[in-house]
Structure 1
Amino acid sequence: MLKFITYFLTIAFAMFFAFWELRLKHQLTDRASSPPASPSKLGVMNDLSERMNRERSIESLPKKARAKLRTVVVLKFLFVVILIVEVIVLQTPK
């Protein structure tokens, strides 16, 4: 039961930081991107180009905003690494 709780909490924290990263990216880049002009611009290719535009516009943000985003990304990866270590340590036979 303790393993389950540990895994669940670690995954929950990793997902929390992943969603926070996504929301922060959208907040920081919404001013730079414009909504699609017609329904024909909706689809997978538009989503891909929108993501690429967001990544480009993140590079042009001030250092303070990029630092906050970088911190969230580092925390997300930290919890993923912690989960991997937990799986390795807690699954070894005693």
Structure 2
Amino acid sequence: MYLAQKAWQLARQLNFDKGRGRAQGVIGMVLRERGELPKAYANQQIALQLSCQSHNPEGEASTLNGLGNISLDLRQYPEAIEHYRASEVLYRRL
């Protein structure tokens, strides 16, 4: 978590939204592993927004997959499937 937060801060200082999106996604993954699912989901949503803004389809796909994982953990199955399918579309394009 410490390194992801440092990466986020550095990316912010450099105005590097792609890096901020990646760091935000890692923060979301760490929070998921800690069991802090609502916080993890919120962080992944921010990561998705940053990935979209920076035109980073790989980041979008990864983040959508992360949102699917969290939705699955929360037993929100239709939402999880939606995220996984959107992720798959992007990964196939890549």
TM value normalised by structure 2: 0.38
TM value normalised by structure 1: 0.38
Higher relative contact order (CA 8 A, sep 6+): 1
Which protein has the bigger helix share? 2
